Structures are given as structure tokens and as C-alpha cells.
Structure 1
Amino acid sequence: MNEVKNILLAGRLKEEVAEWLEGKRMGFEFRLREYKEVTVGDIGWADVYIAFYPPKGVSLAGVKWVHALGAGVDFFIFRQDWPKETLLTRTKGDFGNRIGEYCVARALAVTQNLVELWEAQWRHEWYRKEAGLLRGSQVAIVGTGEVGRGIAAKFKALGCPVEGISISGKAVKPFDRVFGRDEIAEPLKKAEWIVLAVPLTEESYMMFNESLLENCRGAYLINIARGEVVDEDALVEALDSGRLWGAALDVFVEEPLPAESPLWEMPNVLISPHIAAITSAEEAGESFLACLAELQKGQRPKLAVDSEKGY
């Protein structure tokens, strides 16, 4: 890719990323659109498309390069007709640390009874209940990539033994042990905290279904991966039955979560609106320029996505 001049930005963060890139004075031309406003003419004009999601009703075929603003790229390639000649790159940020803190914050909140204490405060009630101890409790993290490793490091810093689950089962720090996907039942049976940090692929789609959740023995589930990794009906049943004693959910099959979802009313569920790690304009811009520099040297960017694998 010899020259990149025309940049098409769509959706959330488009103004901020354009402003950040414009400040680098590299001669870029910009078009800013909402997803539904992108036209065939825009696609034909663009050297690169930068966004969290594909445009609505317009194919990306013909665009040489798409740069995803998030760490996850499933919105572009999972069960999508992705043009193989198009390069797909992703944004790299401090997602592991941010999401790790998100997960530990939820674990500490429920261990320390913060929700119950807050509710008692509003009732003017002197509520006393012994807090649990996070230290020493067993953690299982599904996904041992950059985000999974960041989560593991935060739990280990608090004295938790942490096991990982990945496709290969290959040992990787800081996990105490890593199991292959076909061995997943073993760590789930002893886990007190289960964290989902796996990319959405055909292999992970609805992975946590009724059959898999039957292995849980009163664990607390934290999902910061994708909603489609979990069968939400099976999740509700597992929460009702006690196989899961609670859940912190940042992602859902349908977002925003529909008002009629039973998850809203469950007292053992903490809901957040997909905010565990929010991309900044600087992270997006720096990742894009790093990829551009490698392309101009004739190299495949380190942040390039394998569309066959899905990550």
C-alpha cells in the first residue's frame, strides 16, 4: 500500500480521531459519516475505513484497508461476507489493565457486600454483614490473550490462584496453569470466579450453554467478551438454580439490553453498558499510524487480523 490519503471515519469517535490525526499534519483528507449515511461513493473514495462497525447497507468490498477502533473485530468478520483482499487491522490500547480493574472491582464489590451496604444506607439501616475475602479464591479465565493476561495479573496481585483456558492449552504467564478448550470442565468445577475474555468466533459462539454451565459449582461469572459467547436463557437458569451465585455482565447478545430482559431484575446480577474498556482517540490514532508505517515499509502490520481465525 503505497499511499493512504483519503480516510473515511464512521460512527462514534469519528470527530475525535479525525482531529487527532489532523494534528499530525500528514496531509490526510477526511469524510465523517454516521453508519447509515455511508454511500457507495464514500467507499470508492476511501483508501481506508476507520470505525467500530461496518456501514449499514453498503459493502466494504473495494476498500483496501479497514482499521477497527476496538480490540474486538467480530463485528466485521464473524458470520460476515468479508472481502479477503481487504486488510483488517485492530486498535491496541491498555485494554488488559482497564478490563482487569473492571473485573477486580466487580469481584471486590460483591465480596465486600457494597451493593447491600449502599442499599442499607439509603434505608438508614445499620446493616452488618461479614465481608468475604477475595485473596485465595480460585479464578478461571477463558481466553489467554492480551486481555486475559491483564485480568489474570490483577487477580494474582490480590493473591488469587488463576487458571486459564485457551484453544491450545499452551502455558503462558501469569497463569498458574492453562487448560485446552477440550479440558474446560476441570477448571470450571473448582472456580469461584469465571471470567470470559475470549474473542467471538465459531468456536466460542454460545460456548457457555446449559451443558457447559452444569459444570459450575456456585461460581461468579464475569463477561467482558461478547454477549454471544453466553446463552442468556441458560445463564438465567444457572443464576436461578445456584450453579452461578452471581454475574457481572458488560456485554449482551442485543445491545442496549432490552427492557424486558429478566437480567435487569435479578438481584445477583450487575449490569454495565459495554464500558469495561473504552477506546480513546489517541489509542486509535497511534494504532492506525503504527500500521500505516509498517505498510509503507512493505510489512504486514503487527495489528493485522487473521480473518480465518477471527482475531
Structure 2
Amino acid sequence: MISPALLGRARLLAGPEVSETAARGLARATARPVERGTPGDGPYVYVGASLPDAPRGADLVWFHSVNAGTDALLDGGPWPRTALLTRTVGRMGERIAQYVLGWILAECQSVPEYTALHARAEWRRIPGELVAGQTAVVHGIGRIGSAVAARLRACGIRTVGVARTPREPPPGFDALAAPDEPVAARWVVAALPLTAETAGYFGADRFTAMGGATFLNVGRGATVELGALEGALRSGAVGRAVLDVLPDEPAAPGDPCWRLPRTVITSHSSGITADDDIVTDFTACLRELRAGRVPPLTVDTARGY
């Protein structure tokens, strides 16, 4: 835990990913100037998306990530033992939930099919599909997964979260299931962080068990084995796929991912962080630290989330 006294004398640095608008908000929250570039001596707080080599030392007391995912930070080498790591979530859960719901409704209203018919100037009626009463399975029951479940549940969709240990369903979920427990679902949503345990989590076995469900990934790209997904799409084990994240980003025009059947790829845009998100979450963490409490947005660097 950072002592309020140490926090009070720490300098505030911001990485290039932090806009001038966000930097002004951080300066107001801390009542101190925001510095850019490489830090000198003395304790400091760093706000950014990546941690340069120079600040990776004992003088770093707190790093606040502008992103919700911190796997890239933790993959860069051992995390400084005494440095706190927090993350930005903001209204990301709300944005991602809206994204998931939008694609689900588009599918039920045959938007892809009508788009193709329009391109051919072909008049043909396609019955709509009701979402109410159908089931969505959400892998990842943290803040983002819970927000997705709550939005789907509000539309009458039964929501089943996946958890490794039995517990009461968190808000937004009707029930929980074990990772490999069979659940007949119309949609499967991936909202997992990337850790050693979740890398390649969605492989051939899990895709085969989906029974024709639509798969949507709004978590991390490396949780999915794209070759296994392609096989499942071609066999019909996965009906459609919507991928907002990929193992390697950005995807080049010749990348095979663009040729996956019945798949739409969006450019890691379902939950783009806004300046207000960064400032709001940083300020909330600062308030907790000044009160001597651990911020809820603290990342367990050993677990990776």
C-alpha cells in the first residue's frame, strides 16, 4: 500500500497515449503538473498504456493503465515489486455490452442477409428471430462480462456465466456453469483477460461443443486459437463469429483472418477508452489511496487481472 505521504510528494508523469485533455484532468485531480518524457529522481506516478524501461525501477510507486487489459504490461518483464498497478474500466463495460447486443440484434433481424439482398437488388422476406427466452453463455464474469450479461438479460436473454469455482451468480447472470459444463446456448461471448490460464482457452474442444452458436470475442485475441475457430466455422460447430480482438493486431490486408467464413472482424473498437474514463478512474483510485484503502481497480500482478 502506498502511504499518503509518499503519494503526496510523488511526481505525475503521463505517457504519449494520454491526450492533453486527459492530462489536464489528471492535473486537476492531483493539483500538480503533468510531466512528459523520462523521469528523473524521486518517486513518481505514471499514467499510460506501456511502461518504458527507464521508469521500471524503485522510484515508480503507482502505474495507472489507460487500458482495461494489462497483459502487455505484465509481459514486459518482472513488475516492480513495490509498485501498485491499477487499470481503467470507466464505461467500457457499457460500451462493450452495447456492442454485443447490437451484433446479436443485427443477427436476429437478418441484417447481414438483408445487406446482401440489397446489394443484389433482390426483394425477399426473412422472418425475424426473437432474442427473449434464448441463452447466452459469457466466459469472463468480471466487470465487463457482468455488464454484457446485464444488458442481454434486460432483453429477456437467459445469461449463464462461466466460473471455475461454484458460487452465487454475480449481478447480471441467471446462473453459473463450470468451464466445460455443457450449456445449450444461442450465443457464446468471450470476455476473458489474457493470462497463462486463458491463452488458447478457446480451442477445438470448446468450439466443437458450441453446437452452432454464434461466437463473439470482446476479451483478448490470444484466448482464441484461430485455426480451431476456422475449423469449427467450416464444420458448422460455430454458426457465426464476431471478433473485435485478434492474437496479432492490427491484421494486415492479407491476413487469413479476413477469409474466415461467416465472420466479421472489427478493429478492437468495442470499448474504446475515452478521456473521461481515464480521469474518472484515476481520480477514484487516488481517492482510495489517500484514504489508506486498496482501490477496487487494482490489478493482482501475480494473477494478471
Contact persistence 1:14–1:51 (CA under 8 A): no
* AA matched with 2:240: G
Q: 134-143 or 2-11, which moves further after superposition? A: 2-11
Identity of aligned residues (%): 31
- 1:125 CA drift (Å): 2.4
1: CA distance, partners of 2:85 / 2:244:
25
1:87 correspondence with 2:84: yes
Equivalence for 2:304 = 310
Greater relative contact order structure (CA < 8 Å, 6+ sep):
2
Task: State the one-letter code of the partner of 2:182.
Answer: E
Give 1:98's aligned amino acid: R
User: What is the aligned partner in structure 2 of residue 114 from structure 1?
Assistant: 111
Q: Is the 8 A contact 1:43 1:60 kept in 2?
A: no
Match of 1:174 in 2: 172
Amino acid at match of 1:6: R
Consecutive unaligned residues in structure 2, runs of 5 or more: none
Whether 1:75 and 2:72 are equivalent positions in the alignment is: yes
Q: CA deviation at 1:246?
A: 0.6
**Which ranges of 4 or more aligned residues in structure 1 deviate by more than 4 Å?**
43-46
Question: Could you give the per-residue CA deviations for residues 12-52 of structure 1, whole angstroms, max 9, x where no partner exists?
Answer: 33323112223457122321x5xxxxxxx437566111112
Matched-pair contact (CA < 8 Å) for 1:245–1:268: yes
> Within 2, Cα distance between the matches of 1:301 and 1:290?
8
Matches within 5 A, 1:6-45: 6-24=11-29, 26-31=31-36, 41-42=38-39, 44=41
TM-score normalized by structure 2?
0.90
Give the Å deviation of 1:128: 2.5
**Structure 1: which 5+ runs fail to align?**
34-40
Per-residue displacement from partner, 1:233-276 (whole Å, max 9, x unpaired)?
A: 11111111111011111111011123222221335111111111
- CA–CA distance in structure 2, aligned partners of residues 77 and 229 of structure 1: 16
| Distance across 1 between alignment mates of 2:138 and 2:113 | 27
1:226 corresponds to which of 220, 223, 240? 220
Quick one: which of 236, 255, 280 aligns to 1:261? Answer: 255
Q: Give the CA RMSD over aligned residues.
A: 2.1
SS in 2 for 1:295: helix
Q: Decide which of 269, 275, 278 is 1:281's aligned counterpart.
A: 275
Q: In the alignment, which residue of structure 2 is the partner of 1:200? A: 194
Is 1:297–2:294 an aligned residue pair? no
The 1:209–1:25 alpha-carbon spacing in structure 2 relative to 1, beyond 3 Å, is: closer
Q: Identify which of 51, 54, 60 aligns with 2:56.
A: 60
Equivalent-residue separation in structure 2 for 1:59 and 1:240 (angstroms): 48
Cα contact 1:18–1:30 (8 A) shared by 2? no
**2: CA distance, partners of 1:72 / 1:124:** 44
Retained in 2: the 8 A contact 1:50–1:66?
Answer: yes
Q: Does 1:237 align with 2:231?
A: yes
> 2:208·2:238 contact (CA, 8 Å) conserved in 1?
no
**Equivalent residue, structure 1, for 2:132:** 135
Preserved CA contact (<8 Å) 2:46 2:63:
yes
Q: Which moved more, 1:120-129 or 1:132-141?
A: 120-129
3-state SS in 2 of match to 1:284 = helix
TM-score scaled by structure 1? 0.88
Pick closer, same or farther for the CA change 1:45–1:280 going to 2, 3 Å. Answer: farther
